Structure 1
Amino acid sequence: MKTTWVATRNARQIKTGYILLIAMLLLDFSCSKNNDLELIEEENAMMSKSANTSPNTVLAWNQVMEDLYTFSLNGPGTPPPSASYTWALVHLAMHDALNGIVPRYETYAGVPRDKDANPDAAVSQAAYDVLMAINQLPFAPAYLPQNFQSINALLAETLDGIPDGEAKNKGIALGHAVAEAIMAKRAGDTPNLAPGVPNQPAEGTQPGEYRYLPYPLAPNGMGYALANFHKLKPFFMVTNDMFRSEPPYETSSPEYAADLNETKDFGALNSQVRSADQTELGVFWAENSSRGWNVVARIVRDSYNEKSQNAWKTARYLALVHSAIADSYISIFESKMYHYFWRPITAIQLADNDGNDATTADPSWVPLLNTPPLGEYPSAHAISGSVAGQVIIRFFDDRDNYELNLDSGYMPGVIRSFSSVSDAVRENSLSRIYIGYHFRLAVDVGEALGKELGDYVYENALKEK
């Protein structure tokens, strides 16, 4: 009997154990299922928030930047490479702020997530804080126009339009954190941002080597502007020399002579062959690339499918365009410093000493516009326009045909029209010949490099999660 009782007891214990185990598994499955449902519901809510969030605040800050960097031809301004640096940081901050709420795309500088933060508050505070941080740089006026009324007004207007409460407070806090993270990531930039004379390269002496230029905006002499800009940490390139160009033509070559004579004829202040339209397009495109190509980016976005571009997509799009422009300047300045090629004003005035019988010196030759004091080859303006155009084309399904009616701060009231982004890119490049800044090879190479860099940035930066 005892044996039977023990066996029965053991059987009951085993049965009870099985029942408890099954109950625990069912409970665990139920909890797991509930947790999964909660996560799915949370994710759906977050995706719905990102899909339905208006891009108006992102676009408002973008428009403030466009207005702030619209300069007249003979008025004060900021150097185009310096402008691109500020534009990139502001737009990356807006992108990161949104993706700190709903992580749809990779961020530039990681920050803690806060799904309950108000997107408009986060975007505005992040953009504003980055601009104020740039204003603390030793060379602030070269990077940010000292006119803060519109910036202050937009921040106040945006925050005043958001109901007080936890979401607004969290959005402001997230914006602060994003800006701090962005600037921390760029903390090593300061030694390389100086626009003036630190660490000037030696003036060249041989045919083709860069010579210091007379420059009205630097009456005491600048030598070489932004001489360390090429050392900046890239935004998305792997290395600064990743897209270094092949060398320019030898000054003794027939190709060089053909390029020099073209710029000598068409780029002179008192050219006898440049048409009125070529003069217009030369000056029209001379403004900073960040402002000029932002106009194109906005038109294309609105023309493609405005309703499909929520805040997240719009912020990523503009961050890619402006980060690519900034990287293009870093890249091309590296090539300029590496090749250290002389400008047309030097080459034409010293043509009797270039070892080429097909060129003739004109010691009095001057270009249509004053040439910036930095190396000629390749063209920074060509690469910055081309990289922007390529990102714009790639972002919207490789579509190129758009009706573009563009304006320019350098020629108020003048509109130039194009049927494609590529046509605008090409005219932007050629404009540098007509103002006497560049030889044709420099603009052709710059434009080609811009397409390569644009593809790289589009395919590798801020990718969808």
Structure 2
Amino acid sequence: MTPSIGLRHHGDPRRLRRLLGAVLAVVLAGTLATVIRPAPAAAAAGDLILNGTFDNGSTAPWWTRLAATSTTVDAGQLRIRTAGPATRPTWDDLVGHFEFGVTAGQPYRLQFDASADVNRSLRVSVSRVDTPFTSAVDQTVALTPTMRRFTFDFASPFGDPQAVLLFHLGAHAASTVRLDNISLTPLAVDPATDPILYWNGILIDTYQALDLPPTASSREAAILHAAMHDAAVSVTGVGNPYRVRVPVSYPGTMDDVVAPSLHAAIDRAAHDVLTALYGGQGRSYTQALAGAIARRPSGVNAAEAARGDTVGAAAAAANLQARANDGSGNNTPYQLDGVPGSWRSTNGKAAVGPNWGLVTPFALTSGRQFRPGLPAGATGYGDLLGRQEYHTQVQEVRAYGGRGSSLRTPEQTQIAFFWANDLAGTYKPPGQLFTHTRIVAEQRGLGILANARLFGLVALALADAAIAAWDAKYQTPIDLWRPVSAIEAIHGTGWQPLSQDRNGVPYTPAFPAYVSGHATLAGAWAAVMKGFFGTNAIGFDATTDDPHAVGVVRHMSGFDQAAQENALSRIYLGVHYRFDAEAGLATGGSVGAYVYANRLRP
């Protein structure tokens, strides 16, 4: 029989917790292990539980808390005669297993067979070994005389190198309970159940439904992912929050120690942010939340979900409030410079986001922190238009970016459309970069916490990259006209860019050329990816949403290749000059490196 430890009932729950903690500490110190014989059987590969099958006839290392509770092995099963009486609290009469660890955010599967000689309930938990004895999974099952299999999946909301599996036997009259085939195994990462990936997918659906510019869409993605990251950090305590670490408290009783659900916290944060940002545009996220709940692990109980909701709601509120007066609502009309070289509309549309460079950044000190010099080192419009470099670059776009170009290769044409994603109905440039982030994250097998940080860093970098790009576009002495305007001024009408809408009508985005927003976003993305993974040399198959490149997949040898292709594509598309691309990549690279170095540190 396994030695047991008896503790008399004490009315103060806090004292009980301290006493139980002392008992657990003794067990962990090896006091019981020195007298338990024979040695426990080894756990199966990957299984954290020793002797969960009882095939060797031993009860070790399973222990009981009360002297009145007896354990024996009978017919290859653990036979437990509970202490009773029914007035005992559930946590008073315990059978448990120590000496295994759990990792925050890691998915696990708890399985066991159980029966009882009378119909009764059994509470099972995986908990911290010390105060506040928080439980990662806490479920109550109904036992009958028929042996049945129970399975609960959960993502641990905390890390503990010395966790404990407990079967709570109190609150019932004395009975005989049988347990067998007990296992606790880490599960492989499953992207289908990752709430970060799920809600990023909902965001991309929103991008496709709403014709959003890269300015607003990147800002909104940063709020979303910062809130989800903060929710995850608050639940697990792993990493540093972006805006807030929501405090998690417990009622102070051993009967109510469940931790907030990591999934529920992330789900609520995402739902609340998206509803606040897009609810006024006719978007509802009720069904999306229902879909998220359906994907939660089976081990999440109602109390865990409710506490997760509380954490997620607070994380969302803090991040939304922080952006309430960030300048993104500044609609001051743009005043055209009205001189040769200055931007003018090419399609009758007003300038998009003329004040976006003044928006408060998420990580940068200001939108001008990494402001590049003026194109070709010019001092103003007249100086620029008189420089040979300018004329060389105009000619390059005319030769390679025109609809009827004979110099552009088929691959360059493919590259042009592959990276475009400018049109309504596509996921736009931020959506493509998030999609590529997901491709790499799934390829590398990242879990929830790693994805929370990676997508958070990418989102913050993209948002600040957009602010930095729009600062260069509008807040400097040169608001550069697009190539179609420059070529018309030199060569007359007739030239049109390769860029076109779904009906083949020439299309040029309605904002100045310098610097390229695509290139700046791509540079920021590549810098974050290199920082996070510690290398550029990660190959992946990149995809697109552009209607002129349906089904095209391009293999990238690394993040820099993807960013450089993205930047050069704008020349082939006929909407940007080379210095737009180069300065955008450099600016974005600085933004991404700064964000990675200064935010969401592990």
1:174 to 2:311 alignment:
yes
Aligned to 1:331: 468
The one-letter code of the counterpart of 1:319 is G
Aligned to 1:154: 291
The one-letter code of the counterpart of 1:210 is W
Query: Highest Rg: 1 or 2?
Result: 2
Following superposition of structure 1 onto structure 2, how do residues 26-105 of structure 1 map, counting pairs within 5 Å? 41=130, 49-50=157-158, 56-70=194-208, 77-105=211-239
Aligned to 2:335: 202
Give the Cα–Cα distance (whole angstroms) in 1 for the partners of residues 302 and 232 of structure 2: 19
SS at match of 1:299: helix
Aligned to 2:486: 347
The one-letter code of the counterpart of 2:494 is S
Any conservation in 1 of the 2:541–2:553 contact (CA below 8 Å)?
Answer: no
Give the Cα–Cα distance (whole angstroms) in 2 for the partners of residues 237 and 403 of structure 1: 29
Question: Structure 1 373/317 Cα, relative in aligned 2: closer, same or farther at 3 Å?
Answer: same
Any conservation in 1 of the 2:269–2:313 contact (CA below 8 Å)?
Answer: yes
SS at match of 2:325: helix
The one-letter code of the counterpart of 1:349 is E
Any conservation in 1 of the 2:157–2:260 contact (CA below 8 Å)?
Answer: no
Any conservation in 1 of the 2:419–2:569 contact (CA below 8 Å)?
Answer: yes
The one-letter code of the counterpart of 1:125 is R
Question: Structure 1 203/319 Cα, relative in aligned 2: closer, same or farther at 3 Å?
Answer: same
Give the Cα–Cα distance (whole angstroms) in 2 for the partners of residues 452 and 326 of structure 1: 13
Aligned to 1:301: 441
Any conservation in 1 of the 2:417–2:546 contact (CA below 8 Å)?
Answer: no
Give the Cα–Cα distance (whole angstroms) in 1 for the partners of residues 298 and 365 of structure 2: 41
1:117 to 2:265 alignment:
no
Could you tell me which runs of 5 or more consecutive residues in structure 2 were left unpaired when the two chains were aligned: 1-17, 27-127, 137-154, 160-185, 250-258, 377-383, 422-427, 500-506
Following superposition of structure 1 onto structure 2, how do residues 212-291 of structure 1 map, counting pairs within 5 Å? 212-215=345-348, 221-222=349-350, 224-249=351-376, 250-287=384-421, 288-291=428-431
Any conservation in 1 of the 2:520–2:586 contact (CA below 8 Å)?
Answer: yes
Give the Cα–Cα distance (whole angstroms) in 1 for the partners of residues 232 and 301 of structure 2: 19
Q: How far off is 1:367 after superposition?
A: 1.6
- Out of 552, 555, 566, which is 1:428 matched to? 566
Question: Structure 1 292/150 Cα, relative in aligned 2: closer, same or farther at 3 Å?
Answer: farther
Give the Cα–Cα distance (whole angstroms) in 1 for the partners of residues 303 and 273 of structure 2: 23
Any conservation in 2 of the 1:99–1:105 contact (CA below 8 Å)?
Answer: yes
Any conservation in 1 of the 2:403–2:497 contact (CA below 8 Å)?
Answer: yes
Any conservation in 2 of the 1:88–1:322 contact (CA below 8 Å)?
Answer: yes
Q: Deviations over 1:201-254 (max 9, x none)?
A: 221222322223324xxxxx41x1112222211011111210111011211111
Could you tell me which runs of 5 or more consecutive residues in structure 1 were left unpaired when the two chains were aligned: 1-29, 216-220, 352-360
Question: Structure 1 59/42 Cα, relative in aligned 2: closer, same or farther at 3 Å?
Answer: farther
Aligned to 2:432: 292
Question: Structure 1 414/334 Cα, relative in aligned 2: closer, same or farther at 3 Å?
Answer: same
Give the Cα–Cα distance (whole angstroms) in 2 for the partners of residues 149 and 432 of structure 1: 38
Give the Cα–Cα distance (whole angstroms) in 2 for the partners of residues 136 and 281 of structure 1: 35
The structure richer in helix per residue is 1
Give the Cα–Cα distance (whole angstroms) in 2 for the partners of residues 272 and 280 of structure 1: 14
The one-letter code of the counterpart of 1:324 is A
The one-letter code of the counterpart of 2:261 is N
Q: Deviations over 1:409-453 (max 9, x none)?
A: 432211112222211111111000111110001101101111111
Q: How far off is 1:340 after superposition?
A: 1.1
Q: Deviations over 1:74-130 (max 9, x none)?
A: xx6322222212221111111000111122222122143216211110000100100
Q: Deviations over 1:148-179 (max 9, x none)?
A: 57624424425796644322111111111111
Any conservation in 2 of the 1:64–1:151 contact (CA below 8 Å)?
Answer: yes
Aligned length, in residue pairs: 402
The structure richer in strand per residue is 2
Question: Structure 1 238/50 Cα, relative in aligned 2: closer, same or farther at 3 Å?
Answer: farther
Any conservation in 2 of the 1:121–1:158 contact (CA below 8 Å)?
Answer: no
Aligned to 1:415: 553
The one-letter code of the counterpart of 2:410 is A
Point out the more displaced range, 384-393 or 198-207: 198-207
Point out the more displaced range, 321-330 or 266-275: 266-275
* Identity within the alignment, %: 27
Give the Cα–Cα distance (whole angstroms) in 2 for the partners of residues 88 and 433 of structure 1: 28
Give the Cα–Cα distance (whole angstroms) in 1 for the partners of residues 269 and 599 of structure 2: 20
SS at match of 1:404: strand
Question: Structure 1 347/384 Cα, relative in aligned 2: closer, same or farther at 3 Å?
Answer: same
SS at match of 1:401: coil
Q: How far off is 1:42 after superposition?
A: 5.8
Q: CA RMSD in A?
A: 3.0
Q: Larger RCO: Structure 1 or Structure 2 (Cα < 8 Å, ≥ 6 residues apart)?
A: 1
Any conservation in 2 of the 1:230–1:330 contact (CA below 8 Å)?
Answer: yes
Displacement over 6 Å in runs of 4+: 37-40, 43-48, 52-55
